[in-house]
Structure 1
């Protein structure tokens, strides 16, 4: 049986992850659930959390700090945004009413251009906790990739890109679905596609259709098609985000293949980036919130 001093929660749209934590920030045990925010109505969050925590709560309520979409308008309780420029953990936590002691970290907002983030602010806080006095640009790849300018411990500005969601939609719900199925990958096709849209982003819509045409006419296959689709979209994102990353110190937060694609694409532009593990920085950010004692 694990008896935590507090519980760290990363509650996204599709999954819930929880860690039983000691007061010093050490992980005692990790658990997960497929009951993400997107599958729950407001009255289902507490039962889902109790189900995952199980015996962690045998001795009564334990303080919990949560980040992610659990604090969205359609989540458990809306945690209002903190406006940039500000520290990533700038505001008090939002307390959830009910029988559990749950506090949610607010997201960040930007008035112009209009933008918001939830969950990434905790990863940024964690990255800064692990890399004191760091300044530069952080890239957080995902369904909605983020580029955040960080200076003097504050998020100065940020931009979001629907690159991951566009890839999912195009590969499943357009004519490209006939060409990109499978897991094959051709790195040369990815690199060429990144360069193509970095230099001529206005050709993106036409270049996307050429994926299907090249498959039909030349039999390029799914490995080329899938890599080319990813490269075109990431290249267009890098082109739009160039004012952020050009000439800056860059960190890419994420684990696995997706983050590595961004690192390789940036390296090809003579923009080396340091990769940080998403789970490690998320835990560091949740721990920073705990240690700061941010309470409502």
Structure 2
């Protein structure tokens, strides 16, 4: 099976590739060869190992997005400044490769000067979301390790803001004193309670976090409830800080099913109009948009 072209989502910890044909997605593959695990000379071999079975006679275009284009990645793709379209014809960066069976281009990220902010990979998902929902005006939220809120108007990203919510959860759950009182499992009422506390009193977040530890010691707070409340506290505080971004506007959520469901639940408590989209679908749609622009440019 030969791919017409290959879409690649290359993040810090994972590499995912999608073989594309006229009918759409033909096959997909993934590995743990993320940016953080590779030297600069290791990127091309890691990619070829994953996609070799999709290559054949001729040259196969590969379009990539994510941290592969960062300063620590394979080849730096300079940021584009907002306001701008999330992806633009001719703006992808061509990368020199040794293997004659492929060409490689990387989508540049977006930057915002004031307040300073950057994104890589999310711009492709935003472009895909706008392809799937043309004419959308409102806010796109991309929950994850670094949650992004992007304001969309007339097909452009006019501004965005990043929250360290997912990374903070991982640090607190795995490396702070709170780890002693957390356990696997999910407690929905505990999540809702944390959500309300974080959303209504975000200025008390640090005290609320330590209370999880204290309640585990003297009030036998179950570990699953503590973990769920921690998630709610952090997401609630994020929503409080991002209120100006989503209040009164339609919100598209892009991410994993679990995360988008949590954010949809949180926003529904505020009567926000939300719709969830698959991160994979949006990534493929965004890179397909770029692939289409490239083929037209070559004609």
Distance 1:56 1:270 in 2: 46
Equivalent position of 2:246 in the other structure: 245
Structure 1 runs (4+) greater than 4 angstroms displaced: none
Q: Could you list the runs of 5+ residues in structure 1 that have no partner in the other structure?
A: none
Question: What do the CA deviations read for 1:242-288 (whole angstroms, capped 9, x no partner)?
Answer: 00000001111112211110000000111131011111111100101
Tell me how far apart the structure 1 counterparts of residues 122 and 157 of structure 2 sit (CA, whole Å). Answer: 11
Q: 1:25 to 1:138 in 2, by over 3 A?
A: farther
Say which SS state the counterpart of residue 293 (structure 1) adopts. Answer: helix
Q: Deviations over 1:175-222 (max 9, x none)?
A: 10011132x111111111111121111100000000011111111111
Greater displacement, 173-182 / 142-151: 173-182
* TM-score, normalising length: structure 2: 0.95
| TM-aligned CA deviation for residue 61 of structure 1 | 3.1
**Structure 2 residue corresponding to 1:77, chosen from 75, 78, 86:** 75
Deviation at 1:73, TM superposition (A): 0.5
SS in 1 for 2:18: strand
**1:1-51: per-residue Cα shift (whole Å, max 9, x none)?**
x111111101111111111111x3611111111101110011000000110
Per-residue displacement from partner, 1:52-92 (whole Å, max 9, x unpaired)? 01222232431110000000000000000010000000361
In the alignment, which of 106, 128, 131 is matched to residue 130 of structure 2?
128
The aligned residue for residue 277 of structure 1 is: 278
Q: 2:15 — aligned with what?
A: 16
Do the aligned residues in 2 keep the contact of 1:171 with 1:181 (CA within 8 Å)? no
Alpha carbons 1:25, 1:287 under 8 Å: kept: no
Aligned to 2:227: 226
1:57 alignment partner in structure 2: 55
The alpha-carbon deviation at position 224 of structure 1 amounts to: 1.1
TM-score between both structures, scaled by the size of structure 1: 0.96
Quick one: distance in 2 between partners of 1:266 and 1:55? 43
Which position in structure 2 is the counterpart of 1:96?
Answer: 95
CA distance in 2, matches of 1:193, 1:20: 42
Count of matched residue positions in the alignment of Structure 1 and Structure 2: 293
Alignment of 1:167 onto 2:165: no
- Corresponding position of 2:145: 143
What stretches of structure 2 of length at least 5 have no aligned partner?
none
* CA RMSD between the two structures: 1.4
8 Å contact from structure 1 (residues 208, 229) kept in 2: yes
Name the CA shift for 1:76/1:111 in 2 (closer, same or farther; >3 Å): same
Which aligned pairs between 1:172-251 and structure 2 lie closer than 5 A?
172-182=174-184, 184-251=185-252
